[in-house]
Amino acid sequence: MTRSLLVLGAISLAALIFALAIGSVNIAPSELWKVIQGEGSALHRTLLLDLRLPRTLAAFATGGLLAVAGALMQVLLRNPLADPYVLGLSGGAAVGALLAMLTGMGAFVISGSAFAGAMLAMVLVFGLAHGTGSWTASRLLLTGVVVAAGWGAVITLMLAVTPSYKLPGMLYWLMGDVSYARTPWPALVVLIFAIAVILPLARNLNVLARGPMQAAALGVSVRPLEWTIYVLASLLTATAVTTAGSIGFVGLIVPHMLRLVLGNDQRIILPASALAGGTLLVLADTLARTVIAPEQLPVGVITALLGVPTFLYLLHRSR
């Protein structure tokens, strides 16, 4: 168990170093070392410390947040098709961010709006799904999917009425772009906090995956655990979307990829998702900003292009 995590950790580190070295201006490892030591040319220092390092750390944190959120959603809803956005969190965040863009606000207000929108979405679905009668995972899922569709309609409306010069900015936000991340620290802190909170509960999550009845019979307090997962997954998703817009694919596929290779023990899958999701997004972001430089691609395109063949290969191999 720890061996696979160590291997993933090593791969993550390699990906981070790769991302720091590659860019519109390639920085050789010796130059990299010089900058870390405090020397190196002014341009390299600015590029590395002010641009690339925050962006790479933000990519890693966002990827980790999305992958862990996806894994948690899949456990909570007991549905392999669940991803972090299925309950409308990214929709709410998008409405918040687009409203801020429509009214001409700066980047800080846009991020704050996105976070507020996601939290509103979380509370809304929580309130609606709670309702009367027994609560089930499918009820939560249905409520979430419908509310997500509602957010989607509001987004479409906003795109239709916004002045044309604001459209590219909005579309790029919807596609997801790690270059929007001003600072990686909120995302990193939330990720570490979440892992710290969820690891002790991981064994209970394994039991919960068998079904609520069996879990209750085995002594797991099901309802509090489910709401904890819900709030935690929402927090992770909200932070991820606030940092880099709605990047798709990572939350859905990374947990599945890991399950094909490492099995379904949540004690391994959750931290492994953080590492693997982070690595995937770091590599995808590096490609997104270099493959047709100086043109910049949205990172969501690359995550899908990288992830789909990888997943299909793993699926094929596991048969």
Partner 1 sequence: MIKWKAVALLLGLMLLAPFGVAAPVCVTDDQGEELCLDHPAKRIATLSPGATELAFAAGAGDKVVAVVNYSDYPEAALKLPLVGNHTRIDLEALLALKPDLVITWRTGNPPAQMEMLRALGLPMFAIEPRTFEGVSKVIEQLSTLAGTEQEGFAEAERFRKGIAEIAEQYRDAEPVPVFYQVWQTPLMTINDNHLIGKVIQLCGGVNVFGDMPRLVPRISAEVVLEADPHAIITGSVEGIEDNQLDRWKSYTGMTAVANKNLFFVPASPISRPTPRLLEASRDICQRLDVARERE
Q: Which chain residues interact with partner 1 by CB under 8 A? A: 23-25, 43, 46-47, 50-52, 106-107, 110, 163-166, 168-169, 172, 177, 179-180, 182, 289, 293-296
| Cβ-based nearer residue to partner 1, 143 or 242 | 242
| Cβ-based nearer residue to partner 1, 147 or 244 | 244
Burial class (CB in 10 A: 0-12, 13-18, 19+), 213: exposed
CB of 216 to partner 1, least distance (A): 47
Q: Which residues contact 84 (CB under 8 A, 6 or more apart)?
A: 66, 69, 70, 73, 90, 233, 236, 237, 240, 251
Contact by Cβ (8 Å): 298, 239: no
CB of 69 to partner 1, least distance (A): 23
CB of 318 to partner 1, least distance (A): 38
CB of 171 to partner 1, least distance (A): 9
CA–CA separation, 126 and 227 (whole Å): 9
SS3 of 38, please?
coil
| Cβ-based nearer residue to partner 1, 67 or 101 | 101
| Cβ-based nearer residue to partner 1, 152 or 169 | 169
Tokens found for residue 211? 């079904």
CB of 170 to partner 1, least distance (A): 11
| Cβ-based nearer residue to partner 1, 41 or 221 | 41
Per-residue HEC secondary structure of 46-92 comes to: HHHHHHHHHHHHHHHHHHHHHHHHHHHHHHHCCCCCCCCCCCCHHHH
Q: Which residues contact 210 (CB under 8 A, 6 or more apart)?
A: none
104 — phi, psi (to 5°)?
Answer: 75, 30
| Cβ-based nearer residue to partner 1, 104 or 309 | 104
CA–CA separation, 217 and 211 (whole Å): 10
| Cβ-based nearer residue to partner 1, 138 or 156 | 156
Contact by Cβ (8 Å): 137, 73: no
CB of 284 to partner 1, least distance (A): 16
CB of 25 to partner 1, least distance (A): 5
| Cβ-based nearer residue to partner 1, 172 or 311 | 172
Tokens found for residue 89? 């969190």
Q: Which residues contact 143 (CB under 8 A, 6 or more apart)?
A: 87, 125, 128, 129
CB of 115 to partner 1, least distance (A): 15
| Cβ-based nearer residue to partner 1, 179 or 239 | 179
137 — phi, psi (to 5°)?
Answer: -65, -40
